[in-house]
Structure 1
Amino acid sequence: MILPVIMAGGSGTRLWPLSRGNFPKQFLTLSGKATMLQNTINRLAGIPHEPVMLICNEEHRFIAAEQIRQLGVKHNGIFLEPVGRNTAPAIALAAFKAVESGQDPLLLVLAADHVIEDVSAFQDSVIRAKELALSGKLVTFGIVGNKAETAYGYIKRGQLYQHGYVVDSFVEKPDFITAEAYIASGDYYWNSGMFLFKASRYLSELKVYRPDIYSACELAMKCQNNDIDFVRVDKTAFESCPDESIDYAVMERTTDAVVVPMDAGWSDVGGFAALWDVSVKDTDGNVFNGDVKSVNTKNTLVFGGNKLVTTVGVEGLVIVNTKDAVLVAHKDQSQHVKAIVGQLKSDQRSEATFHREVYRPWGKYDSIDNGERFQVKRITVKPGAKLSVQMHHHRAEHWIVVSGTAKVTNGDKDILLTENQSTYIPVGVIHALENPGKVDLELIEVQSGSYLGEDDIVRFEDRYGRVEGK
């Protein structure tokens, strides 16, 4: 049986300000109604498989769990990497977990942030690769390129082998002239970063070629901690693991690497130009998302966000509006957006990491306004959800219910609040907020005090495992 392993890491720099450090592109809805992660799961529907296993970091765990929950599908656990160590160690964790119960499934390793336009072609390639993987081969999927592309690594194919080709070599990102020669030859594919192999086979090759990675991951897995949907491994052991990609650690060294071609309209959406490439365009080559009005505009990508965006007489631009930032760039220069993120990080600007709207396991909050000694948030609590039992040393809070019903613990009192009702939480008072209803609870929170940081929270009880700094 196939066990999909979905890699959902990412730093959120290339599609800023849509993506941020705490909300990278795999969690974005770039077209349609599903996010990139959800689309990755949905396109598995035509392939017999076990529930997916997800690998992400601590900061993204609740977003990932919520997006899987929205699909109404089961999963085989959400692995939380204590630190990023690249793909070879991450896949090793999944492989060790897969063989724990004596099974030896085929691991279908996928990235959560890829676009695949032809789902049937994707599924056909996976099914064709299955026999190769069952025979002990380590299969990588090579994308049939339609143009010279310098942003991708390449795979050179060797002799024909069943439904694929023996891998001759992996090639680093080339210059444009070299890339043109690769595409013209027909012997090279884009390196997709997708794989299919037996869990035990990957581990055995890793042990041969990178025993240091194998040992560190094996040790990390010996001290697992299961927390609701999440699987944590030993932090100290995993931190000692070298940072290495699966290509360098295994695929470039093994003698059993096979490439299966895939012609499925694939893109890793490495920037706004790539996003424009794979999006549906109007007759003027424009891609508009949101409330956009234009005159004499061509080949332009606009994300309107929560505002009306208008353009007049422009061509080849990227315009992105979010609640707290606006980006205007020439499409041909949009790959340099990460330099802006670098400046923001150097200036310790929160916009590099956080959206104004922040998701939590119980819902979300939107920081509407703030000043020297106050902050105003719009808080949404999902039905049945509850915030932690907590207190603050430096701030008081006023809660005003906009819609729904709030069950509030305020010191030694438990009260119910409905529309237009409010309560006041003094500094140092233990409190909690819960939505006992069947519809979203919306409320306005006004914070006031000498310090308003999110780290001024002392949690006493929390159903999401965040007590004691979690």
Structure 2
Amino acid sequence: MIVPVVIAGGSGTRLWPLSRTHYPKQFLPLTGEKSLLQQTLLRLKGLQHEPAIIICNEAQRFLTAEQVRLSDIPHSPIILEPEGRNTAPAIALAALKALETDPEATLLVMPADHDIAEVEVFLDVIAKATESAIQGKLITFGIEPTSAHTGYGYIQKGQSLERGFIVKQFVEKPDEVTAKGYVESGQFVWNSGIFMFKAQVYLDMLKRFNHDIFDACFNAMQNQQDDLDFTRVDASAFLACPSDSIDYAIMEPLTAQQDDAVVMIPMAAKWSDVGSFDALWQLLEKDRLQNAVRGDVTAIDTQDSLLMSEDKLLATVGVKNLVVVQTKDAVLVADKNNTQAIKQVVAQLEQKSRAEIHQHREVFRPWGKFDAIDEGERFLVKRITVKPAARLSMQMHHHRAEHWVVVSGTAKVTIDNQVQYVTENQSVYIPITAVHSLENPGKTALELIEVQSGSFLDESDIVRFDDEYGRADLQQGNFDDHTE
């Protein structure tokens, strides 16, 4: 039986400011109402399979779990990587996990951040590939190129087979001249990043070509621990693992030996890795002037552009071939033909330690979300939403006091062991160093305004005493900037 493996890591820097380190593109509804991760999972509904194995970064565990829950796809506990090490180690963890219950497990490896419009075509190709995978072949899926794209890797076709081609070689992202030559030759396809093979065959190849990765992942899985919906691997063992992609670690050295073990099966579905704003523009519905528009936008004498506004009126006049993206805390204006260079913007912001590269102004937590709507010297105002029956940790702050005003719903507030209920239009004050917690006892969302005041208002000023999400045991301050 097929075991789907969904790799939900990655940061999607070329889609900044929509995609952020702590809320990357796979969690965003870029091409429809569902996120790319949810679309990836929902494709599996037409496929007979064992529970899916999902792999994500520690920092995105609750975000991943919530989106998986909403997708209603059977899955194993989500494997947490202490730190990203690229696709080869991630797949190794999944292979080792799959073999725990099925020594003949066949993995279908899929990135969580791709768009495939024709699901039926995708499922048909997977069905045709299964037999070859069971026979011990490593299957990759190729997309017939529609342009000389320089943002994709390519696969060169070798000997023709009944259902595909032996892979002659994998090649990395080419320059424009080289890409044109590939497309004109008819011998190259785009590398979709989707693979299929038996778990044991993958591990055998990993031991053959990159034993260091195999050893680190094997050791990491020996001390795995289940935690809520997650499987935690041994952090010290995994952090010793080299970082490498499946292409570099296995596929390229294997094909370089002219081995016939790697087979490419063409996939005629409309596919995109949604790796840039230009790619996103191509996927979205456009008006008669070829503008793709999202949000509150007024476009005058504007054409061939991607215009996206999160919460403000966006107006353009007399422009062409632009990407204009407005979020609550950033605005991007770029030439649509040069969006690959956005990663240079992210690199500069990284050097300046700007928070905007890591998270949006609106931040999601396992209990709900908050939006930092205003700040100044010695004060910060947040709009907080708490899910029904959810509770924040019992905590204390050394440097700030807080004032909560309930906008809708009912809040159960504990301050120094004293419990009170605060309803709409009522408020409560939490002094500095008071041990407190907030809970929504109701069946609808709780909305409140929080006003912080004090000498230090950073999220690291939290000491947790009790937390149902397992954060009280983490080192103070390390989690709030990165996770829930």
Question: For the superposition of Structure 1 and Structure 2, which TM-score range results when normalised by the shorter chain?
Answer: over 0.9
Kept in 2, the 8 Å contact 1:8–1:56? The answer is: yes
Residue in structure 2 matching 1:327, options 308, 319, 332: 332
- Structure 2 residue 475 is matched with structure 1 residue 441: no
Q: d(CA) in 1 for partners of 2:136 and 2:112?
A: 25
**Which of 439, 463, 472 is the aligned partner of 1:467?**
472
The CA distance in 2 between the partners of 1:6 and 1:290, in whole Å, is: 30
Q: For 1:37-56, list aligned pairs within 5 A.
A: 37-56=37-56
- Maintained 8 Å contact 1:206/1:250: yes
- 1:222 alignment counterpart: 222
Match for residue 374 of structure 2 among 369, 373, 377: 369
Q: 2:482 maps to which residue?
A: none
Counterpart among 312, 316, 328 of residue 311 in structure 1: 316
RMSD: 1.2
Superposed counterparts of 1:335-414, under 5 Å: 335-414=340-419
Superposed, which structure 2 residues align to 1:202-221 within 5 Å?
A: 202-221=202-221
Q: How does 1:269-288 map to 2 (within 5 A)?
A: 269-288=274-293
CA contact (8 A) 1:12 1:23 kept: no
What residue number does 2:131 align with? 131
1:257 matches 2:262: yes
Residue of structure 2 equivalent to 1:61: 61
Residue matched to 2:155: 155
- 3-state secondary structure, aligned to 1:302: strand
Equivalent residue for 2:425? Answer: 420
CA distance in 2, matches of 1:147, 1:14: 20
Q: Which position in structure 2 is the counterpart of 1:118? A: 118
Per-residue Cα deviation, 1:113-155 (whole angstroms, up to 9, x for no partner): 1111221111111111111101111101111111111211111
Matched-pair contact (CA < 8 Å) for 2:31–2:283: no
**Whole-angstrom distance in 2 between the partners of 1:411 and 1:74:** 42
- 2: distance between equivalents of 1:413 and 1:98? 49
Aligned mates of 2:210, 2:104 — CA distance in 1: 21
> TM-score scaled to structure 2, two decimals?
0.95
Give the TM-score normalised by structure 1. Answer: 0.98
Q: Which residue of 2 aligns with 1:188?
A: 188
Closer/same/farther in 2, CA of residues 434 and 104 from structure 1, 3 Å limit = farther
What is the letter of the counterpart of residue 41 of structure 1?
L
Instruction: State how far apart, in whole Å, the 2-side matches of 1:175 and 1:353 are.
Output: 30
Task: Tell me how far 1:360 sits from its aligned partner.
Answer: 0.4
Higher mean C-alpha deviation, range 71-80 or range 443-452: 71-80
Give the Cα–Cα distance (whole angstroms) in 1 for the partners of residues 173 and 27 of structure 2. Answer: 27
Which SS does the other structure have where 1:252 is aligned? helix
Separation in structure 2 between the aligned mates of residue 180 and residue 330 of structure 1, nearest angstrom: 22
Count of residues paired in the alignment: 470
Amino acid at match of 2:113: D
Q: CA deviation at 1:349?
A: 1.2
Q: Which moved more, 1:179-188 or 1:401-410?
A: 179-188
How far is the alpha carbon of 1:102 from its aligned partner?
4.0
The residue number in structure 2 matching 1:80 is 80
Letter in 2 for 1:64: T
Counterpart Cα distance in 1 of 2:445 and 2:349: 34
Are the aligned partners of 2:385 and 2:447 in contact in 1 as well (CA < 8 Å)? yes
Give the letter aligned to residue 401 of structure 1: V
Gaps (5+ residues) in structure 1? none
Q: Name structure 2 gaps, 5 residues minimum.
A: 480-484
Consecutive aligned runs of 4 or more in structure 1 exceeding 4 Å deviation: none
Query: Tell me, what secondary structure is at the counterpart of 1:84?
Result: coil
Match of 1:467, SS state, is coil
C-alpha distance in 2 between matches for 1:74 and 1:423: 43
Deviations 1:171-218 (A, max 9, x none): 122222322222222221111111001111111111111111111110
Give me the whole-angstrom Cα distance separating, in 1, the residues matched to 2:11 and 2:106: 28
Cα distance in structure 2, aligned partners of 1:182 and 1:44 = 32
* DSSP 3-state at the match of 2:77: strand
Give the match for residue 197 of structure 2. Answer: 197
Give the match's secondary structure for 2:208. Answer: helix
How far apart are 1:287 and its partner, in Å?
0.1
1:91 aligns with 2:91: yes
Q: Is the 8 A contact 1:324 1:351 kept in 2?
A: yes
Partner of 2:463: 458
Matches of 2:64 and 2:430, distance apart in 1: 32
Counterpart in the other structure of 2:107: 107
Q: 1:410 Cα deviation (Å)?
A: 1.1
Q: Can you list the C-alpha shifts for 1:200-242, whole angstroms capped at 9, x where unaligned? A: 1111111111111111110010111211111111111111111
Q: Distance in 1 between matches of 2:71 and 2:171?
A: 38
Deviations 1:416-457 (A, max 9, x none): 111111111111111111111111110001111111111111
Q: Give SS of 2:182's match.
A: helix
Quickly say closer, same or farther: Cα 1:31–1:152, change in 2 above 3 A.
closer
| d(CA) in 1 for partners of 2:51, 2:284 | 29
Preserved CA contact (<8 Å) 1:105 1:199: yes
Question: What is aligned with 1:175?
Answer: 175
On the 8 A contact 2:384/2:448 being kept in 1, the answer is yes
1:34-62 Cα offsets, whole Å, 9 max, x none, are: 01111111122211112321111111111
Which has the larger displacement, 64-73 or 15-24? Answer: 64-73
Within 1, Cα distance between the matches of 2:30 and 2:73? 22
CA distance in structure 2 between the aligned counterparts of 1:241 and 1:328, rounded to whole angstroms: 39
Q: Structure 1 pair 175/214, CA: closer, same or farther in 2 (3 Å)?
A: same
Amino acid at match of 1:274: A
